[in-house]
Each structure stands twice: as structure tokens, then as C-alpha cells.
Structure 1
Amino acid sequence: MIDQPGYLLSQNAFGRLVFTGKDGEAHEGIVPVRAFPITAPDTGIALVDQHGHELAWIDRLSDLPDALRTLIERNLISREFGPEIKRIQKVSSFVTPSIWHVETDRGETAFILKGEEDIRRLTAPTLLIADSHGINFLIRDRFALDHHSRKILDRFL
């Protein structure tokens, strides 16, 4: 755990996370990574070095002191960009590739869906749609979308 004696997580003058373990070795450029970013975003966070090696594991963000939790949350937010689709306005075609015009929690946008395989089912109501640039758009509950959006989405599922 990150809050055990001998561990230290700080931010250097360049804004990069620095993790110092019990052995005293400092690792710069640490990245917090959620194990389950959609289904359990506040549990299971790994602190990973630049080579992808896990240095520490955090069971729950809520268990951390406020300053440490805020530092990790800020880094998670800056790393993760996952707009949530609230409404599908229109699609250019019902065959792929197609251009989707959507309303997200961050405003209106358009993206290119290369193929139906870029729509992944995570849980029964939750979908993840990857655009042609690798940006993942989340539909948290496809059944909660308006009728028009569900009708368009059903053509691709």
C-alpha cells in the first residue's frame, strides 16, 4: 500500500509524479492506472513506472489522506479522456465506416466509426465505442438513451 511507512509519493517541479520506495530508490514519471476505470473507478489503482512495472497498489482512493488522494485523482483526470455519449444525433451511414454526430457530457462532437467491432459491450447496458483516432466514448446505459439514439445504436449492434 502507498500509505505504509517508507513509501513516498510526491510531485516534482515539472509536475511529474515521483515514487520513492522502502529501498530509497526514486522513480520519476509514475502513472496511476485504474484497474477497472468504468465499473469501479475508485478501487484498484496501480502506480506504474515508465516501463509498465507496478510499484504500488492502492485498494481504495477513499482510504488515502486527502492531499495524496487529490494528487492521484488530478493525475488520473489528466491522463484519462473518456467522454460519455448522452445522445446520438445522426450517423452518415448505417454501414461502416460512418461519421457519428453525438452529444457528450463534454459537448457536441463527431467521430468516425471504422467498424462494428469498435463497439464493445462491457456489461449488459454499458458500451465502449472507439473512434478512428483511438478515443473511447462511453455509453453508460444504452437503455437510458432517448428513443432516436437507441434506434440508431441498434442498427450497429
Structure 2
Amino acid sequence: MSTHMTTPAMDFTLTRDAFGHLSLTDAAGERHDHVQVVRAFPIAAPDEGISVLSAEGHELAWITHLNQTDPATRQLLNETLAARDFMPVLKRLKAVSSFATPSTWDVDTDRGPTRFVLRGEENIRRLPDEMLMIADEHGIQYLIRHLPALDAHSRKLLDRFL
């Protein structure tokens, strides 16, 4: 079974096969299987700068903004990007096992409570607009959208690592 999505403002067609793989058919009718969809700026501008890459990593198509696509293609792209860009938003720090690293953090995220290990302070990156990115020992990245918006207890725990 194939889901056929045509993008009127674009010169390509995206399809998803029964196994969930994406294919792109370009304006010349050439089909590219197992394409990947990636955001250029996943945090700062998630709806802008979307690249469709071949299985070999070559850019096949560039989407300046998701609103340039029809609703069905936009939904297909959003579903694909959501699966690729798994980035829980950290809402609250409940506890930290130690103020030395590695340490185990108990946190609440937008996807529920979880626990992860922070290997070192270098795994906490400051981003523009008072955002933070924290990478756990498995490479999962947790986003703090606005540091001042965290509750006082969370900020106190986090300040020990910044």
C-alpha cells in the first residue's frame, strides 16, 4: 500500500510504502527510494528549511517553509520529522543523584517522567534565547525552552552544573 502525496508548489512527489519508507519522485520522473527528511534548524525554526536527502545523503529537494506544501504532504513531513527529531522538553528537575558527574537526573518532560545519566557538564549546551540542550549518556537530547521559566527548585539543581 502506498500513500501518494503531491506538492503543488514543489516539483516532486513524496510517497510512503507499507514499510514506512519514503520515496521521492522528481520532476523528471526519477524515483529515489529511502529518502530522509531533515530540518536545517530544528529548534530555532522547525517549519523552515526542510531538506529531502537521498539514501546516500545528497540533497534532492529543499522546502523553504512547510506552508509551501499541501496539507497531506505537510502531514507526511511532520510525521516523519517528529519520529526523527525525538527531543523531549524538560519541564522540571525533581532530583539529582550527585552534583559531581556522572549523575542520575530524575525529571519531568513533556512526554512524562524519566531518569537519565548526565556524563559531564560539557553535555549541557547553552542556546540562544535562554534555552539549554542537555544530552544524556545515550545521546538523547532534552530541551529546556526557557531557563528562567523553570521552577525555583529546578533552577537551583541546574545551577550547580552551569
Question: TM-score per shorter chain, which class?
Answer: over 0.9
AA of the residue aligned to 1:135: I
Say yes or no: does 1:28 pair with 2:37.
no
**Where do 1:53-64 residues align within 5 Å?**
53-64=58-69
Deviations 1:83-142 (A, max 9, x none): 000000010000100000000001110000000000011114100000000000000011
CA distance in 2, matches of 1:109, 1:125: 23
Distance 2:136 2:82 in 1: 20
CA contact (8 A) 2:9 2:68 kept: no
| CA displacement, residues 40-72 of structure 1 (integer Å, 9 cap, x when unaligned) | 111110011222111100011012111111111
Q: Is the 8 A contact 2:93 2:157 kept in 1?
A: yes
Output the TM-score relative to the length of structure 2.
Answer: 0.91
SS at the partner of 1:156? coil
- Deviation of residue 32 (structure 1)? 1.0
2:92 paired with 1:87: yes
- Where does structure 2 lack aligned partners over 5 or more consecutive residues? 1-6
Q: Identity over aligned residues, as a percent?
A: 53
Please point out which of 104, 108, 124 is paired with 1:99. Answer: 104
Which runs of at least 4 in structure 1 moved beyond 6 Å after TM superposition?
none
User: Where in structure 1 are there 5+ consecutive unaligned residues?
Assistant: none
SS at match of 2:160: helix
* TM-score (normalised: structure 1): 0.94
Coordinate RMSD, CA, aligned: 1.3
Matching of residue 115 in structure 1 with residue 123 in structure 2: no
